[in-house]
A and B are shown apart, each in its own frame.
Chain A
Amino acid sequence: MTTTLYTSDHEWLAIDGDVATVGITDYAQQQLGDVVFVELPKVGRTLKKAEAAAVVESVKAASDVYAPVTGEVLEANAELVAEPALVNSDAQGKAWFFKIKMADRSELGGLMDEAAYKAHTA
């Protein structure tokens, strides 16, 4: 059973045990517009919470995606690198960015559930 949580920077985390799958929200992709390039962290890299972890670029601009939690990158979505437009078509599904093995689950405490995130973006 996975739980999905959200950050105020418009990332989603699907939590399964101590592994979080991270992406950007549908709201975020709407704000960015057509995504043309995604750069993901290398597998094995240790990310600190709030560190720039990935980059998502639209025709107009580049935006950083920050690590929502501290941990080690287990997997990066190669399909997304090959087809960045997946961010626009399926932000909260096929367009996951990376999977991270969380070092400290207590970091999840500050995140929002879906209802709270909806209120945040309303």
Chain B
Amino acid sequence: MLARDDHDSLNRTPLHGLHVSLGGKMVPFAGYDMPVQYPAGVLKEHLHTRASAGLFDVSHMGQIALRPKSGKLEDAARALERLVPQDIVAVAPGRQRYAQFTNEDGGILDDLMVANFGDHLFLVVNAACKDADEAHLRANLSSDCVIEPLSDRALIALQGPKAEAALAKLCADAPAMKFMDAGPRKVAGIDCFVSRSGYTGEDGFEISVPAADAERLAKTLLDNPDVLPIGLGARDSLRLEAGLCLYGHDIDTATTSVEAALEWSVQKSRRSGGARAGGFPGAEKILAHFDHGAARRRVGLLAQGRAPVREGALLYANDAGGEPIGQVTSGGFGPSLNAPVAMGYVPTSQSALGTNLFAEVRGQRLAVQVAAMPFVKNTYKR
């Protein structure tokens, strides 16, 4: 149990008071006092999000505007391409793309969303990395861009099959948006930035709202009986079932985008032979992984029994003896699958779907099988 003082030393999002009033169980996360669950509990919150709609406070994440000093958006896009292996120039106005900041060793410093808002780029980065990301941007892009942390904004995710209908009541433009559309929209009369994206595998939206209006907007959304507040616990089980990486666990400074099975996120224009091949930190190693393969790979793992296989569990080729061949990086119970789900790194030679492996849990080797991700089919509106 945390003493009162520990809670007091943590940052609070603009929705902190609302979480407490809703009975949220508050825990420290990335320096913030955040709800891990509400009275409904992780299981119900997870299933409700997949069946109806869930509201998540993700205001702890960093929001950053990247403005081109020249006034030409392409200059900001080209500048950002010096730090990420993604094609940012090709992100059309009103669109968003998943990206990674890489380091000189080809590892991942953070993963992020980059949206083209017409006259500037809008970035959403992980809470635990946001200060380092801002410093990284300042150190490398200040000649071309003004880097503006938008610390006076909250971020609310609305996810699930009824998210569209719930948001449509407050934002008539919402239903016309497609997956990864992003831009300024009025929501309940408030000037927001809305994207059709999320971290659950479900259709849904992420809404950046001025801090002063955040609680009013969240309460208005929660007035809809289809919408329940969802804590970090279910956020984690939802993203795990969706096969999505959690930074610091499934990806970090020691994993390349290829090892992490994120090749889909690196456009051809930045790969060997592309129009703007390379030119990002660690390009030599990352492009070598593209061209010649990487020795290990992130895979999905389904356990054959009921016991959850969690982060840190060692993976073996056989049911006894031998050295570990890999490790689980995220794992737990998938409420929608009603079964344990995990992901981890294994040698590429043992990464084929259907490969039978063993995970060591409390001294016992449990049978697991390399499985396709997402574990639960995503429902994005493309």
In the complex, the answer to whether A59 meets B362 with C-beta atoms within 8 Å is no
Bound together, the chains give a CA A41 to CA B14 distance in angstroms of 47
B48 in the interface (beta carbon within 8 A) = no
Establish whether residues B310 and A59, one from each chain, have CB atoms under 8 Å apart when the complex forms.
no
From B46, B234, B237, B307, contact of A57 by CB (8 A):
B307
> Quick check: is B332 within 8 A (CB to CB) of the other chain?
yes
Within 8 A of B (CB), among A57-94: 57-62
Chain B interface: which of A10-18, A20-28, A31-39, A103-111?
A: A31-39
- A59 B233 Cβ-Cβ under 8 A: yes
Provide the residues of chain A in CB contact with B307, threshold 8 Å: 37, 39, 57
* Residues from chain A with Cβ under 8 Å of B43 in the complex: 33-34, 36, 59
Q: Mark A30-61, 1 if CB is under 8 A from B, else 0.
A: 00011011010000000000000001011111
A82, closest chain B residue (CB): B306
B236 on interface, CB distance cutoff 8 Å: yes
Within 8 Å by CB of B310, from A33, A36, A62, lies A62
Q: For B40, give the chain A residue with the smallest CB separation.
A: A34
Residue pair B333, A33 in contact (C-beta under 8 Å):
no
Please give me the residue from chain A that is nearest to B232 by CB atom: A60
Which chain A residues lie closer than 8 Å to B310 at the CB level? 61-62
Interface centre among A33, A36, A39, A59 (most CB of B within 10 A): A59
Chain A at the B interface: SS class:
strand
Minimal beta-carbon separation of B241 from chain A (angstroms): 11
Whether the Cβ atoms of A62 and B308 lie closer than 8 Å is: yes
Closest residue on chain A to residue B334 by CB atoms: A59
How many residues from B make CB contacts under 8 Å with A? Answer: 20
Which residue on A lies nearest to B46, using beta carbons? A59
Contact digits for B199-237, partner A, Cβ 8 Å, 1 yes 0 no = 000000000000000000000000000000000011011
**Which A residues are CB-close (under 8 A) to B333?**
36-37, 57-59
B222, chain A: closest CB distance, angstroms: 21
B306 touching A59 by the CB < 8 A rule? no
Known: A33-B233, A36-B333, A37-B333. A58 touches B42 (CB 8 A): yes
B198 interfacial contact with A, CB 8 Å: no
Which DSSP category, helix, strand, loop or mixed, fits chain B's interface? mixed
Q: Which of B335-360 contact A (CB under 8 A)?
A: 335, 340
- A33-B37, A33-B233, A36-B333 given; A60·B306 CB < 8 A: no
Question: What B residues does A58 contact at CB under 8 A?
Answer: 42, 333
Q: Is B41 an interface residue (CB 8 A)?
A: yes
- The residue of chain A having its C-beta at the shortest distance from the C-beta of B37 within the complex is A33
Pair A36/B41 contact, Cβ less than 8 Å: no
Q: Are A34 and B41 in contact (CB under 8 A)?
A: yes
Are A33's CB and B308's CB within 8 A? no
Residues of A within 8 A of B335 (CB): 34, 36, 59
Contact A37/B37 with A59-B42, A59-B237, A59-B333 known, Cβ cut-off 8 Å: no
Whether B42 contacts A55 by the Cβ 8 Å rule is no
B window 318-333: CB within 8 A of A: 332-333
- B residues near A61, Cβ cutoff 8 Å: 310
Known: A37-B333, A55-B362. A60 touches B236 (CB 8 A): yes
Assembly CA distance A59 to B236 (angstroms): 10
Greatest chain B CB density within 10 A among A37, A60, A61, A62 is at A60
Q: In B17-45, which residues have CB < 8 Å from any A CB?
A: 36-37, 41-44
In this complex, what residue of A is CB-closest to B338?
A: A36
Residue of A nearest to B362 (CB): A55
Does the CB pair A60–B362 fall under 8 Å?
no
Instruction: Write the chain A residue with the least CB distance to B335.
Output: A59
Are A57 and B42 in contact (CB-based, < 8 A)?
no
List the A side residues contacting B362 at CB < 8 Å.
Answer: 39, 55
Known: A59-B233, A59-B237. A33 touches B332 (CB 8 A): no
Which B residues form the contact surface with A (CB < 8 A)? 36-37, 41-44, 46, 233-234, 236-237, 306-308, 310, 332-333, 335, 340, 362
The 9 tightest CB contacts between A and B, nearest first, are A34-B43, A36-B333, A59-B42, A59-B333, A34-B41, A60-B233, A33-B41, A57-B308, A59-B237
What are 27 A-B pairs with beta-carbon distances under 8 A?
A33-B37, A33-B41, A33-B42, A34-B41, A34-B42, A34-B43, A34-B335, A36-B308, A36-B335, A37-B306, A37-B333, A37-B340, A39-B307, A39-B362, A55-B362, A57-B307, A58-B42, A58-B333, A59-B233, A59-B234, A59-B237, A59-B332, A59-B333, A59-B335, A60-B233, A61-B310, A62-B308
**Given A37-B306, A59-B333, A60-B237, 12 other A-B contacts at CB below 8 A?**
A33-B41, A34-B42, A36-B335, A37-B333, A39-B307, A57-B308, A58-B333, A59-B42, A59-B46, A60-B36, A60-B332, A62-B308
